[in-house]
Structure 1
Amino acid sequence: MKAFLHPRQSAHDPQMFLANGVRKPSPEQPARIDALKAGAEAAGCVFELPQDFGQGFISAVHPAEYVAFLRNIHDRWTRMEGASDEVVPNIHPGRHGLSYPDGMVGQAGWHMADTACPIGAHTWEAAYWSAQTAVSATMAVIDGAGSAYALCRPPGHHAFADMAGGFCFLNNAGIAAQALTGAGLRAAIVDVDVHHGNGTQGVFYARDDVFTASVHADPARFYPFFWGHAHERGTGEGEGCNLNLPLARGTGDTGFLEALDVVLDRVDAFAADVLVVALGLDAHENDPFQGLAVTTPGFARIAERLRGRGLPAVIVQEGGYLQPELGANLTSFLDGWQG
């Protein structure tokens, strides 16, 4: 399987993570790349450098105001007397307030959903190349590859069109789906991360040309809390084009696969030409977030179900955090995909 990764994706090294009111080291560490790359190579993937497609595919999903914020905010922030090393918001408008602020503190609150997406000196660089990684895998599929793997880091599915959140800055799966749509294909995004893909849902919520679905831990008491509930079906033209299947905490392989079957029936009904798989490996039983209890062999079964629809697929890496089985979980998924 073709696979894509750029070394500059390691430059982003977030330090800030607030959990239960306690500041802790961020779990979204650069070392994730090493574990995931080794897992993909164990499954036979050969990595290529992504092509630089410029900002066009990014800007098809994210407005210019937000892109400019991500590119410039850290340099502006560090010129502020007494500023922290990373951009972290201390105020959030009721989404949104009435007026877009001029000041950087206000803009940080406007464009950053939480404290789990601190922006450092190299965040834009890494996020940019993470997006180019997704686009390169997408172009490989458009050009005829049956599937391609994008080792996207930082991940993307919590990033809305104009708002970062949950370790995510640019919505890589959304960028991939938009590029596929631009090529005349009907794309379905299937998110199997333990956390609901709230940013992806938000990008496409009022649209009927991309189907979005997410199987995840019930957000009633789990991140992202405010999105990912079963009644969220889309709005306007997008009504019925979004499907959420929240699962009880601790759900294992059987329950996850039953929910995935429901998703894939809806993908068939949408008549999708191509899948974008938002691949989170944090549904594993030993992941630090402890939301679900999918086993390592379970990821192969998830991949087999997804591949069984016979659609080409762009596989975009989302979550999955440092623990001994992280690389093996990716190997299991990719082996399952490749039969």
Structure 2
Amino acid sequence: MKTIFSPLHNGHSGQLEIIAGEIVPGFEKASRAEIIRARVESEKLGPILPPDEHDLSTAGRIHRSDYLAFLPTVWTQWQAAGRSGSALPFTWPTRGLRGDVPPKAIEALLGYYSFDGGAPFVAGTWDAIKSSHDVALTAAALVLNGEHSAFALCRPPGHHAGAGFMGGYCYINNAAVTAEWFRQNGATRVTILDIDYHHGNGTQEIFYERADVQVINLHGDPMNEYPFFLGHADEKGSGSGTGFNHNLPMPAGTAWEPWSAALDDACKRLAEFAPDIVVVSLGVDTFEKDPISQFKLKSVDYPKIGRKIAELGLPTLFVMEGGYAVEEIGVNAVGVLTGFEGE
């Protein structure tokens, strides 16, 4: 299996985030991607290749044009306003406030285009975002051109980013971009299978009214777990998309057996949809030692996940999302891939 990777992700380093009432160093750190890359090498998964340059035309089909235009300007605007440190919002246009017109101040724009305080900017953030997007599309092209699978080692991740908002460490929704790109390049149906601990709210929002992209999420119960305001089992899609969105929330403490049963359910629904291609939003924050998650999967479980997905017999693109137990993230992420490969 070929891996696509860009060192430009390192530009998004030293950023701060707001979590649990504190401003803290970001859990989504550069070492995550480097540890996974090193594990790909040590396990001899396959060649590691740089991304090709891609324009934002496909991203523009799923994200709002004003939002995409805003992202490359954040750091420049932040500096022009005399700010330093991480560019973070502190106000959001919630219920009862006007959210129909973008404000002009950069602090307000950050709130207008986000849903939490977990998508900070530093000097190299935009280059990292763009390289992550390019990594995803380069890996997608491998699959479209005949590779049975490929791994997009994306950083920053993407599945919390919606059509017009960032959050949860995510800016451009890499998995959604690849699904749209597959559709525009001949695939009739695509499934996004999101196995991250946290619900892929952005992916759901983007495709909620569409019947050509099935979205399946296995995740922590949103009544108690981030992102809280989406991910319930009764969210089935709307309009022409009714019946094509599937949420499988599970309680804190879920271990392999019930989680595996949920994956079996997800694979059954996926097979019934009969997509041409599967995009896996690969989060490994389901791990028992993850610092910001509450499931209890063990390292030995991740190759089993890969084998279950391989049994679908479909071309598959793996797109890296979350996972924050840094010491084990490489073992677990690459474990899914080697399990898929039958190793």
In which range does the TM-score fall when normalised by the shorter chain? over 0.9
Partner of residue 237, structure 1: 240
1:213 to 198, 216, 221: 216
The residue number in structure 2 matching 1:117 is 119
Could you say if the C-alpha distance between residues 337 and 260 of structure 1 is closer, same or farther in structure 2, counting changes exceeding 3 Å? same
Deviations along 1:44-81, whole A, 9 cap, x unmatched? Answer: 23100010022222222222211111011210111113
Matched, 1:148 2:150: yes
Work out which of the residue numbers 200, 203, 208 in structure 2 matches 1:200. Answer: 203
Other-structure match for 2:18: 18
Counterpart-to-counterpart distance in 1, 2:40 and 2:249? 28
Q: Which residue of 1 aligns with 2:317?
A: 314
Which amino acid in 2 is paired with 1:253? W
Question: Matched residue of 2:219: which SS?
Answer: strand
Aligned to 2:225: 222
Aligned with 1:99 (options 91, 98, 101): 101
Q: Any conservation in 1 of the 2:286–2:295 contact (CA below 8 Å)? A: yes
For residues 56 and 31 of structure 1, do their structure 2 counterparts lie closer, same or farther at Cα, with a shift above 3 Å needed? same
The 1-side partners of 2:250 and 2:167 are apart by: 22
Instruction: Identify the residue that residue 135 of structure 1 maps to in structure 2.
Output: 137
Of 312, 336, 339, which aligns to 1:336?
339
CA drift at 1:282 = 0.6
C-alpha distance in structure 2 between counterparts of 1:208 and 1:102, whole Å = 37
The one-letter code sitting in structure 2 at the alignment partner of 1:9 is: H
State the distance in 1 between where 2:327 and 2:102 align: 44
Quote the residue 1:30 is aligned against: 30
Superimposed CA distance per residue, residues 11-39 of structure 1 (whole angstroms, 9 cap, x where no aligned partner): 11152222221222111111111111012
- Once residues 18 and 317 of structure 1 are traced to their aligned partners in structure 2, the CA distance between those partners, rounded to angstroms, is 23
Is the counterpart of residue 78 in structure 1 residue 99 in structure 2? no
Superposed CA RMSD: 1.3
The CA distance in 1 between the partners of 2:298 and 2:137, in whole Å, is 30
Matched position secondary structure for 1:60: helix
Of stretches 64-73 and 311-320 in structure 1, the one that deviates more from structure 2 is 64-73
Which whole-Å CA distance do the structure 2 matches of 1:210 and 1:225 have between them?
A: 23
Distance (Å, rounded) in 1 between the aligned partners of 2:88 and 2:317: 32
1:285 aligns with 2:288: yes
Q: How is 1:240-279 mapped onto 2 (pairs within 5 angstroms)?
A: 240-279=243-282
CA contact (8 A) 2:32 2:326 kept: no
Q: Give the direction of change, closer, same or farther, for the CA distance of 1:121–1:47 in structure 2 (3 Å limit).
A: same
The worse-fitting range, judged by mean Cα deviation, of 325-334 and 200-209 is 325-334
Shift of 1:101: 1.9
Residue 184 (structure 1) shift? 2.0
Identical amino acids, percent of aligned pairs: 37
Would the aligned equivalents of 1:39 and 1:329 in 2 still touch at CA under 8 Å? no
The alpha carbon displacement at 1:298 in A equals: 0.8
Residue number in structure 2 paired with 1:54: 55
TM-score after normalising by structure 1:
0.96
Deviation at 1:180, TM superposition (A): 0.7
Deviation at 1:84, TM superposition (A): 3.7
Residue ranges of structure 1 left out of the alignment (5+ in a row): none
Letter in 1 for 2:259: F
For residues 246 and 321 of structure 1, the distance between their equivalents in structure 2, rounded to whole angstroms, comes to 20
In the aligned structure 2, how far is the partner of 1:42 from the partner of 1:173? Answer: 26
Are residues 1:64 and 2:65 paired? Answer: yes
CA distance in 1, matches of 2:167, 2:37: 24
Deviation per residue, 1:190-245 (Å, 9 max, x gap): 00001000011111011111000100111111110001111111111111110000
Stretches of structure 2 lacking an aligned partner (at least 5 in a row): none
Task: Tell me by how many angstroms 1:106 deviates.
Answer: 2.2
Aligned mates of 1:28, 1:314 — CA distance in 2: 22
SS, match of residue 62 in structure 2: coil
TM-score by length of 2: 0.95
Q: Displaced runs of 4+ in structure 1, greater than 3 A?
A: none
Q: 1:290 to 1:103 in 2, by over 3 A?
A: closer
- Aligned AA for 1:68? A
